[in-house]
Amino acid sequence: MTGRPLRSVEGAGRAARLVAGPDVASEPAALGARNDRLLLIAVALYVSILSGLMIARGIGVTPDVLLVGFGLAAVVLGRGRLFFRDWVPFIALFFAYELMRGYADDFGMTIHIADVIAVDRMIGLGRLPTQWLQGWFHPASGPDLVAVGATIVYFLHFPLPLAVGFLLWLRRRALFYDFVAALIVLCIAGFVTFLFVPVAPPWYAAQHGFLNGPDGRPLIQYLKPVGFDQLASWLGFNGHYLYTYTFYEVGPNPVAAFPSLHAGFPFLAFLFAVRGFGRAGWLLLGYFALVVFSIVYLGDHYVIDALAGVAYAGAAYALVAHAPGWFRGFLARLRDDALAEPGPRGPLGGVSGAPRSRVAWRTLAFGLVVAAVGGSSVALLAWHGTPAGSFLYLLPACLVLGGVSVAAVGLVRR
């Protein structure tokens, strides 16, 4: 009489354990997925608040300032030295690209204007897409709220891809190196195109008489200054914008419209976000569409520029994702995965708590000396009155960037 109930209880216990087993085994994975979502939300809020405060105070949302902001977050998470090792060389390469980009229109190549206008008119069925959008949304009088919003989106050229990179660095460090490599490939490909195929943006064409209508007036307006002035009036910084990105100010390039890296950066970030975070990454596709609308509406880019940005970003992603083994091995050696192993401070302890990491003092000192030589040369050129756009600044600027990168790598060695 009592055997059957006992066997039934034991069988029920085994069944319960079999049912509970997969749930227990999946708890770490579920916890990791939840933490990824929380981290995604936290970083998104952090970047939004940081960018909003900077825009509200009239400060350019530029990589140098974002580097400081992300660095503070990395220190809080216990990954301070690892952050500077991984990010400072990346930002230095980015600065070097921007510096060189400013000289791409100085090589005497023919600037493409009329042919690009013809292509975009084909896309717009006889009218420029910018002309269509401005006809629909730009008011005849009063503030242009769409231009204000589009200008804000334009200011966010750097925060979003860098925020995606920061998330990848925190949770998928190997993928972060792929992202950086693809971003550098994209920038180099863009620079070569700017060098040999300089393309004027719509505002340039309008200001130089290439987009005049039958009445002799331009068919489109350059709305970014309109949106900026309205934003400055509302926020009270009266048009005085503190732009900390010094190298961009030294050598801006007004005819580097094709491909549009304003479209290429968010599309590349979208591809890596989907790869790194799954369905959550698809949210960036909506942001990418908003960027394309903004740059076309403001008159900063043609639609063909944005399409080229997508093509270049897709090609850069494919090249890195399907790179040969020697390149994959190079990235693996460069990132040195053992440096990111958890230390005594827990799963986010990173290098700060890892006893195997140390400072390579000779490398650090060498990098600082090289950077100091470059900085002194820049100061000497400026003291002698050398114009800001002179090629003479290229070598000392590269010494500064290279020296800082070497010093950052010297902060962390096994």
Domain count, the chain: 1
89 is written with which tokens?
């060389």
In this prediction, the residues of the chain whose per-residue pLDDT falls under 50 are: 1-10, 12-22, 24-25, 245-250, 343-355
Token output for 46: 């952090």
Query: What pLDDT sits at residue 353?
Result: 39
The whole-number pLDDT of residue 216 equals 76
The pLDDT of residue 9: 44
Q: Does residue 28 have a cis peptide bond before it, meaning omega lies within 30 degrees of 0?
A: no
Summarised one tens digit per residue, pLDDT across range 200-231 is: 899 888 888 888 878 778 888 888 888 877 87
Q: Note the pLDDT of residue 301.
A: 92
Range(s) of the domain holding residue 242: 34-356
Residue with structure tokens 């069988």?
Answer: 11
Model pTM? Answer: 0.77
205's CB contacts (< 8 A; 6+ apart) are 113, 117, 211
Give, for 187, the enclosing helix (H) or strand (E). Answer: helix 173-196
Residue 366 belongs to a domain:
no
Cα gap 235→230, rounded to integer Å: 9
Q: Is residue 180 part of a domain?
A: yes
**Quick one: pLDDT at residue 33?**
57
Residue 14 lies inside a defined structural domain of this protein: no
Would you say residue 25 lies in a domain? no
95, part of any domain: yes
| Domain annotation covers residue 406 | no
Per-residue model confidence (pLDDT) at position 307: 95
CA distance 376 to 372: 6
How far is residue 257's CA from residue 304's CA, in Å, rounded to a whole number? Answer: 10
Give the pLDDT of residue 317. 94
Looking at residue 272, its pLDDT comes to 93
Cβ atoms of residues 371 and 399 within 8 Å: yes
- Mean pLDDT score of the chain: 76
Confirm whether 287 is domain-assigned.
yes
Examine residue 381 and state whether it is found in any structural domain, yes or no: no
